[in-house]
Structure 1
Amino acid sequence: MAASTTEKTPQPRLRADALRNRERIVAAAREVLVEYGADVPLDEIARRAGVGNATIYRHFADRRELIHRVTVSVMARIGDQAEAALAEEPDAFQALRRFVHAAADERVGALCPLLSGGIDRDHPEQVAARDRLVAGIEALMGAARDSGQLRSDIAIGDLMIALTQLTRPLPGWGCPRVEHPGGCDFDTFVHRHLQLFLDGLMNPARSRLIGSATTLEDLRSRQ
């Protein structure tokens, strides 16, 4: 059986200009896929990246391969954020806060549906990026829990569900104007409600949660 497009043999090292083009395409694809979804025309991605359509196909065999690269890139960036927050913040719960807001800026909720569109979740690159990200989040939560600041009745699945749901674009998004001239944009909405969520994670808990903590195994069993 033929190998999938995301499992091609290693390619020669790219020239500097070709590497920059590839990076621009991935960055533009991330933005456009968040805004319009997986079915956006590749013409729009090329326009946003400032390259021609032929340049996209020189780097990526098809849409599936491009989406694969975008998801791996985003997980790697969020993994970087988790590790940096843990290393740089002296306060464990502040490190968790910093990570959650940084992950929200990647719009993980908008990108999650891409993973159900035929992407090989068991591809070695997907697995490596996902495992690194999970390890980083668990380290952050473990440090916050050990410090006594994170309530004990939640697990990584609870955090990931809230993060993906709160960063998912709302149908027909609209927001009432507020008093300051900037109005209310979606990013403000997301970070405001993430702050409320994070406050609810702090120990001592203000209420007893129904059900049990959600683990990664719980999430995977529902896929």
Structure 2
Amino acid sequence: MRSATAAKRVAGKGVAAECVAPKGRADAARNRERILNAAREAFVVHGADASLDEIARAAGVGNATLYRHFPDRDSLVHGVMHAVTERIAERAEQALAEEENSFEALRRFVFGAVEERIGALCPMLSGRFDPMEPRCLAARARVEWLTQELIRRAQQAGEVRTDIDVGDVMVALSQLTRPLPGVGCQRIERFVERHVQLFLDGLRAPAKSELPGHAVTLEELRQDN
């Protein structure tokens, strides 16, 4: 029969193991987050072929840690795009839940998406990312629905002109945050916030002008892809 002292010793080891495991998982989660953030910045500046060694160094982890989380470049690209899309959706949900003013909620979401570098990332990573992947489709649908809800609420409140649709916002986000030919990402960032604010001012109701064409829907954007 096991002695009381031995039983306590085993129990103590069990408690210690239970304490260590969550800490290990937390450390792994933090490392993964640091890698994804460093990769996002590297991909924005250098494109999808950015050095994985430099990404690991910028994240403050060893190469082995990076490869443990992301075995190859494509898995890292997928990880970055999923993380960015999820954070954009979370920003939209927070804006809807926390902002009383519907236009401020839309503004908060737009600038949140800008901070995630979505316009610069998409064209650089598109060749390595399957937009029809089920997880990608679900994440995109979530972002689209939330964006539509932000616009709908602002239009119902009389804060946003009624002749625009979610596609207009998506196009503007993509175009206004994308580097110009021959101009690096770091240089163009100085102007992004200014021009995004100009775009948002153009959304306000009552409208100051009549827009050419028609409101751009999500269906129309998908047809063009």
TM-score, normalised with respect to structure 1: 0.84
The one-letter amino acid of 1:221's match is Q
- AA aligned to 2:217 is T
8 Å Cα contact 1:149/1:203 also seen in 2: yes
Within a 5 Å distance, the mapping from 1:67-86 to structure 2 comes to 67-86=77-96
Aligned to 1:213: 215
The structural deviation recorded for 1:114 is 4.1
Contact 2:107 2:200 in 1 (8 A): yes
Equivalent position amino acid for 1:194 in 2: V
In the alignment, which residue of structure 1 is the partner of 2:16?
Answer: none
Render the CA deviation track for 1:106-157: whole Å, top value 9, x for unaligned: 1111111145213122223212221111111111000001011111111111
The alignment-based identity, stated in percent, is 57
Worse-matched range after superposition: 45-54 or 76-85: 45-54
Match of 1:222 in 2: 224
Q: C-alpha distance in 1, partners of 2:177/2:144?
A: 18
Give the one of 88, 93, 97 matched to 2:103.
93
- Three-state SS of the structure 1 residue aligned to 2:53 is helix
Rounded to whole Å, the distance in 1 between the matches of 2:50 and 2:71 is 16
Match of 1:17 in 2: 27
Letter in 2 for 1:205: A
Quote the Cα distance in structure 2 between the aligned partners of 1:131 and 1:112: 16
CA contact (8 A) 2:47 2:125 kept: no
Could you say what the CA RMSD is over the residues aligned between the two structures, in angstroms? 2.0
Pick aligned residue for 1:112 from 115, 119, 122: 122
Q: What is the CA–CA distance in structure 1 between the aligned matches of 2:25 and 2:158, rounded to whole Å?
A: 50
User: Is residue 27 from structure 1 mapped to residue 37 from structure 2 by the alignment?
Assistant: yes
Q: Which residue of 2 aligns with 1:199?
A: 201
Give the Å deviation of 1:217: 1.4
What residue ranges of structure 1 are gaps of 5+ in the alignment? 1-12, 175-183
Give the unaligned 5+ runs of structure 2: 1-21
Secondary structure, counterpart of 2:128 in structure 1: coil
Q: Deviations over 1:87-114 (max 9, x none)?
A: 1111111111111111111111111114
CA contact (8 A) 2:106 2:154 kept: yes
In the alignment, the residues of structure 1 paired with residue 100 and residue 25 of structure 2 have an alpha-carbon distance, to the nearest angstrom, of 40
- CA deviation after TM superposition for structure 1 residue 185, in Å: 6.2
Report the count of equivalent residues. Answer: 202
Counterpart residue number, 1:48: 58
SS of 1:68's equivalent in the other structure is helix
Shift of 1:188: 4.0
Q: 1:162, 1:41 → 2: CA distance? A: 30
Q: Distance in 2 between matches of 1:201 and 1:165?
A: 16
Written as runs of structure 1 = structure 2, the 5 A alignment for 1:159-198 is 159-173=169-183, 186-198=188-200
Specify whether residues 88 and 207 from structure 1 end up closer, same or farther in structure 2 by C-alpha distance, changes over 3 A only: same
Shift of 1:16: 2.6
Which of 39, 44, 53 is 2:49 aligned to? 39
SS in 2 for 1:133: helix
SS of the residue 2:160 aligns to:
coil
Residue identity matched to 1:212: H
**Could you tell me which amino acid in structure 2 is paired with residue 78 of structure 1?**
I
